[in-house]
Chain A
């Protein structure tokens, strides 16, 4: 005998693994054991195969590969003794899954065991089938299971019922065969059978409309009786949990009643009484009772209940919400979210309590509560709620600030009725959590300020004040810089003071101080620094006395190691030194930013069609400069292309300043090695410009800067896409590996992915289908289902005929838009229908192995 195969006992192996101090030691022990098991298997050592599988189960649990034991499981299943079969089936369920071909081999053993005389062996086979059966096995073995549903032994019945669930999920067509046996299960007394039977009925309702009508007609009464019996039953020690008889059965029945009562007035009326009884009688001092109440509330919300019953349900939720136990509060919040659509007034009554939950120390509760609050906001309560949330923002946890900020921002944007309130709240949020504010949110603020001429002075002053208090918040700093650059003189001269404002004196040099401090602050990034330079240039023309100082500051950056800053500094310096006569017109205030374009772009509607002419009318003198530049340097940049396009329908007004600018640009071009500098500098001159290194420079800037200048919507589109891209670093056209999305013994599906770098949420998937069986498939149809946050668009496949044994492929392309890109991973369920020699087949699966970042 092989010295290995005698091996250690299971107990000794576990002890040895436990004794390991490091992962490496553990690996060594496992490797040794695996070697022993392998050799034992290859020697066909019957005495130890039982133990080997037990060991492999343990090794599998630790996360090591154990595929070599699969065949051994099959051998054990085929053996005669019960203990061997027992461990064999367990191994089968743990070590195998549906995708593996080995499963094909087990069908026969299963069939034999389903017909075995020993009830325990039948039970084993049913259990295994219920856990692992594939669509094919379901078809083959469904008649056996149907027969077993009608046996007398309750243990077999309940297992057969659950097995049927798996079968009808795999092959929904088989549902009709099961609906009458399922109905008869509900007449049983044994709780296990009842639970399984109710569960089977629930699943039948899900897959088939006919079955649910059938059940509605024949079972409602029986279900109500079951519920009544268990509600009123005397103490039953076997099923008692905290004084309640079998809460699990309660819950199952309530759930099935919900399915039957959903959208059906008669059934709903019929079950009203029993629901009222459960809701009022169940004790709520133990978890089990609360679980029933929770389910009962859910059912009341789900059916066409009377208003009295609904009030009862909402009151239960109110009680849950004020419960000390966090678990209960969590489910209450969960439930209230669903109750909003039924009765939002009733939920509003609990607003204060819910708001308290947002401040809870428990992250799960906070998250739920915040989502609920967000749903509760309406025009009347937006202001007090926002105030509460902003107050809390100050003291909230760091890791909660991101969520909280984004929710507050969307509330502010959605419910602002007056601009001043909007600006006030945004400034508050920016100064409390500016680092968490998304780029497009503060871009929107700038657009709003630019559209409110009477509030510009006020805005720049409040930003200035906020900046003095919290200069660490990046987005606050950026908005402040932009506003000081644009409206600096309003800050200094106190233009447009509102009555509520406290008077303040800001001198010109104070304003320049702000910019200088930002520019030199160690933590400032390049974008902010570039914005500072532009703001300084603008100030130098608005405050002629400070112009000397501005020049000095700019000059210090001529030697900057950052190319972008250096270039700007040099260009601006030459504007100040040599082109005083055009400076004032160059740095004129930005034109009013087009709000509607911005909003429609943000909403992501790519087909917004704003006429070019309209935008052209709004173009300031800058437009002509820019267009001329498009001609002067037709670089490969897409922006230039687009500008070229717009050139065709816009006559270029020639002005004297044009020539100067040409000169200037020429200088800039020869000085710089950046390929896109031509357009870049223009963008800079014209706007707030947030440049980024590399060749994506013109696109990557803030989306606002381009808006007023660009004549065509496409340009805006382009810029927007990339701006949002910037907020997901690393998301720029990464290469996603292809995956095997689905594989059964008959079919293999692979997905490969392509992504456009400017649209991170959109993924194009090329699916390839391969037939692994020996028969050709016809009428091949692929269907896919995705969760609500994903949009799916299927293109037609190239064929519906799939030749046998991988001799041909079908390819199909589809596009997926993940609206919660970066927050939620892709998920997809698939269903494939085809015919094999005129017999219909159906396969289903779920794909969870999408590469991250899609």
Chain B
């Protein structure tokens, strides 16, 4: 063995490291001399190897005092240890030397202090070291030092299986009063489920009654509780931190320095503590229903047969890697609600297939929501800070899972009837947008009736918020549809458990219901709010999605906006709204054309009613007439006014009022264009833009301002540029 010895690095010629050591000055001087001598001999043979050989071979009972040889060799080893760390073999030799007390116990602490591993610590060495403890000749302080050392390098021990095998032996040292805290820590690191036995619990409880509430006993017992909650009951006061003391300072800095010098990445997570709860300081409050339960394992376990798979409690899982490893045999926690409190558990929640487990979670969640927001009439707003945090947590969970919980849905149906529209608005609207598809027969009563009331009695900002929420809801429904439509041909099928089956047409009815509802809200909302441009923008957002339902989400359904939305958008005073409307109309055309061609191609394509085509054509023709042809009031169009009334209004050339030049949204562009086109002209004659040449320049100018929707609309609907008198292109029905 000695022949293979090899210290991690060449001994450094510098002496500075030696001066760091805590020795008496006399010894230090001598060591310096010795080291100096050693250095000269360095070239011949690696002296540190020889030094280790010395410690390996030294006879028991060799005297220490006055023994220069020991001193010299030890200094050599120390030198290497503090500079580069010791190799696994060196650790084995030195540890064996120290613990066997071959040269008495005076050198022991000094040797232990320099056991700085460079890579790993061999498990055998530690096991042998522990076994020497049993001999009983080592002074207590040295024993403590040894255990402290084991704790410090615990993460660097190359394997733990043999150490676990002698758990019982290590456990026997807990009765040694001085060793107990450190032994408890070591046991804590080694404990596994099989090890937790009634007699060990008893022993610890007995110690507890003797020593009082010691944190080290408590920590070990609480770990036992995690593994075997049926054996030990313990409630830890929320204030006390369940962390073992960091009693390994002598090595920590040396270890750190060595590792730094070697650039090694061996992480020594020295503060390996019990799974400390996240440091949330829970305020005392009267109602505790919003508190997310602590993750803990089940007490009343089903008797497990030996053959059945061993289940791992979720509490014991510390990393995603472990989670993946044990994915198929994880034991659910005692309280399902606790999954919401841990991000790791949340990952698992996505895979939970147990119906009862989800029902438990829903019972808890529904209970919390009901108690907080529905049942306690008086104190509801007082706790709004906590409610807010709770709902935010719930929302982020639902976002993570990409779906809503059924209990929050059931809660919302009740809550909407009593909601004032302002309490926790963003959260409630967020939850609302996660509601899954509701059958069209229910949707009115559950959703539309309460929302309608809220919509008409609330501020414009609520209106915007609600439209956005419904927009998100529709988006989720459509995504859901498009994902599953790909999966199987008849996408939505009846399930044997349901009383009412939702077919594709059922789904379409629901979507249609929702779109119609938003159309109604939009029409009346725009009237109530005087065509508020913010509200209009949210409504147009909604229709930007609706117009593409067929092509983007594969839903064979085309629903046009109602006149109450279309005309306010067309006559809006801001160009962005008009542009967006133009884009929406363009997308409608693309969708309808594509649907029509599919209808011709395949038999089972869906049928679009003539009414839809007619509506679309009316809108398009009107838009073209209005913006392009300056013919606002044609007979048979959507907007009609009596000739006399129009004359009475004294608006000159009223039929041109909303063409691309005179439209209030574009007038400023027209004037700007006019000035750029004819810089010299003092009188602005906007009509002059309408001549063939300037008209096409004007269009180009407008499109260059970023009005892509308008450009697409013009390109798709107007065939050729022949100056005035062009016709809108309409789809045949």
A and B physically associate: no
